[in-house]
């Protein structure tokens, strides 16, 4: 019935002056509760599931997220869009998303109510055909009932409420703002609108509804919308905003430049937080609401801007030139956004479509390498400076008269040799003998990552053996080049070994 962008996230906020008479604070209890920790994070939050009645007895599903801080908490009422929701597809329950994280990180309890006919809520979808404002008002009535009930909980500070909505949720939020819950101080609207498949020309209804809702509210309102919204041409949504602001002068606009392929998916990517958070924080502060981050674990890592180091598809600028690097980067380019590509001294890692793709990629890289750094994010290169040095140095202590061996092999995850690195002498030792071979058998010595399981498995490789002169004590050195790729055209690295003979 309703349409919004695929994978819509959203905030929705509610307000109420009516509380079902049969429900009292002492009887309000979740049907389930669990502690949740986000990937690569350590601070948990509580997720409580409620089933609560509206004034006509219809039971709606709602999720309450509570931060790991001291309450009572200000309340953010957050609802998602209506992507592909229909009578036969009720969609999934709204839980944590980046909008929830924005509020949780600032110490809010976050309510995610589901309208009737959505997820596990009872009833059928509310629709009044082309009467889009009426549909919004009727859905808002339901959300108010549920939100007012939650506001009675002892963990909630009902004098400090902020509401928000995205897409269909934003449209409903405009209606809810006409009768805000006592204690509601601000509202956020992210690309608010709705479309009904049976209503082919709804532009005039949306414009009239925006004007109507603006005339009936005085809430400070932040309207966030992008220039390449697939569901609303720029000229049209700007006309909607103008109609709303003409009646509610406390409205402010965040006009987001074109975002990836569709700004209607702005909040599906950590990158989509940056354009509006600062202005949202200012509005919260002016409204006397918390606006500073107190628990950073509830937010993803925000990606840096483009560095200008290279174009995204320029493989020749990759800081390390080898076959595995190019293969990993090609994999990165085929992943959906959000996505991150991280490079270390000896490994590459891709994080894609995760809660925090940057942290995910950094974590994967650090399990197999050192000096892991972000190279690219989404559709831009963010790398700063040059690549890892092509010259490396290693100190080795050798007892006098003993032979030290350095074994080289690049192996697959099944512990077989992927290729034997070619080695070539650059500088011979001054105080010892050197033997080099590319047809040796030995074992690798991985200290981190999945290949540590191969450390006892003999494989083919190259070897460097150094034997100091019997009467020498001090430091000797050997310099070689070693290939780091199965492609012989890729440049080798230069290795200098400093042998200290006791």
Is residue 140 a contact partner of residue 54, using CB atoms and an 8 Å limit? no
Please give the helix or strand (H or E) that residue 279 lies within, else none: helix 274-286
Residue 494: which residues within 8 A CB-CB, separation 6 or more?
Answer: 390, 391, 392, 426, 479, 480, 481
Domain ranges (residues) in the chain: 28-296, 315-381, 391-501
- Dihedral through CA 227, CA 80, CA 282, CA 258, nearest 10? -20
pLDDT tens string for the chain (502 positions)? 433 332 332 323 333 334 444 466 657 899 999 999 999 899 999 999 999 999 999 999 999 999 999 999 999 999 888 776 677 777 789 999 999 999 999 999 999 999 999 989 999 988 888 999 999 999 999 999 999 999 999 999 999 999 999 999 999 999 999 999 999 999 999 999 998 878 888 899 999 999 999 999 999 999 999 999 999 999 999 999 999 999 999 999 999 999 999 999 999 999 999 999 999 999 999 999 999 999 999 999 999 999 999 999 999 999 888 999 999 999 999 999 999 999 988 788 999 988 999 999 999 998 888 889 999 999 999 998 776 567 889 999 998 888 999 999 998 889 999 899 999 999 999 999 999 999 999 998 887 777 889 999 999 999 999 999 988 999 999 999 999 888 988 889 999 999 999 8
State the pTM of this model. 0.84
Alpha carbons 7 and 229: distance in angstroms, whole number: 14
For residue 40, the model assigns a pLDDT of: 86
Q: Which fold has domain 391-501?
A: Immunoglobulin-like (2.60.40)
pLDDT at 11: 29
CA nearest to 79, candidates 177, 166, 179, 5: 166
Do 427 and 498 contact (CB within 8 A), yes or no? no
pLDDT score of 60: 97
Assign domain 28-296 to its CATH superfamily: Alpha/Beta hydrolase fold, catalytic domain (3.40.50.1820)
């Amino acid at each position: 019935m309703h349409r919004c962008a695929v994978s819509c996230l959203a905030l929705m906020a509610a307000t109420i002056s009516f509380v079902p008479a049969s429900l009292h604070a002492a009887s309000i209890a979740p049907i389930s509760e669990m502690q949740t920790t986000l990937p690569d994070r350590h601070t948990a939050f509580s997720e409580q599931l409620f089933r609560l009645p509206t004034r006509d007895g219809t039971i709606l599903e709602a999720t309450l997220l509570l931060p790991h801080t001291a309450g009572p908490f200000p309340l953010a009422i957050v609802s998602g869009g209506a992507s592909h929701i229909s009578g036969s597809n009720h969609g999934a329950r709204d839980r944590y998303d980046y909008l929830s994280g924005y509020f949780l990180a600032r110490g809010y309890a976050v309510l995610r109510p589901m309208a009737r006919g959505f997820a596990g809520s009872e009833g059928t979808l509310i629709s009044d055909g082309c009467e889009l404002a009426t549909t919004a008002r009727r859905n808002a009535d339901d959300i108010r009932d549920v939100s007012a009930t939650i506001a009675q909980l002892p963990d909630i500070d009902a004098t400090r409420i902020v509401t928000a909505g995205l897409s269909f949720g934003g449209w409903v939020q405009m209606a809810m703002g006409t009768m805000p819950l006592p204690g509601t101080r601000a509202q956020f609207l992210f690309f608010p609108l709705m479309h009904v498949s049976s209503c082919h020309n709804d532009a005039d209804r949306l414009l009239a509804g925006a004007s109507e809702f603006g005339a009936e509210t005085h809430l400070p309102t932040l309207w966030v919308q992008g220039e390449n919204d697939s569901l609303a041409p720029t000229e049209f949504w700007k006309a909607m905003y103008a109609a709303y602001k003409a009646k509610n002068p406390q409205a402010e606009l965040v006009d987001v430049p074109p975002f990836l392929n569709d700004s209607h998916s702005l909040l599906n990517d950590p990158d989509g937080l940056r354009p509006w958070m600062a202005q949202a924080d200012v509005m919260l502060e002016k409204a006397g609401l918390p606006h500073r981050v107190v628990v950073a674990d509830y937010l993803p890592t925000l990606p840096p801007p483009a560095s200008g180091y290279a174009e995204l598809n320029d493989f020749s600028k990759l800081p390390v030139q080898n076959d595995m690097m190019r293969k990993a980067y090609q994999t990165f380019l085929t992943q959906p956004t959000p996505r991150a590509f991280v490079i270390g001294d000896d490994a590459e890692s891709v994080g894609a479509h995760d809660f925090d793709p940057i942290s995910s990629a950094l974590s994967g890289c650090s399990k197999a390498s050192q000096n892991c750094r972000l190279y690219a994010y989404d559709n831009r290169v963010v790398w700063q400076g040059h690549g890892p040095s092509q010259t490396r140095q290693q100190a080795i202590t050798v007892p006098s008269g003993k032979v030290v061996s350095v074994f080289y092999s690049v192996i697959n995850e099944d512990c077989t040799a992927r290729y034997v690195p070619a080695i070539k002498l650059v500088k011979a030792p001054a105080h010892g003998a050197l033997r080099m071979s590319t047809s040796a058998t030995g074992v690798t010595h991985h200290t981190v990552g999945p290949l540590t399981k191969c450390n006892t498995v003999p494989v083919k490789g190259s070897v460097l053996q150094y034997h100091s002169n019997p009467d020498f004590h001090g430091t000797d050195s050997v310099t070689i080049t070693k290939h780091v790729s199965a492609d012989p055209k890729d440049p080798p690295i230069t290795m200098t070994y400093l042998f200290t003979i006791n």
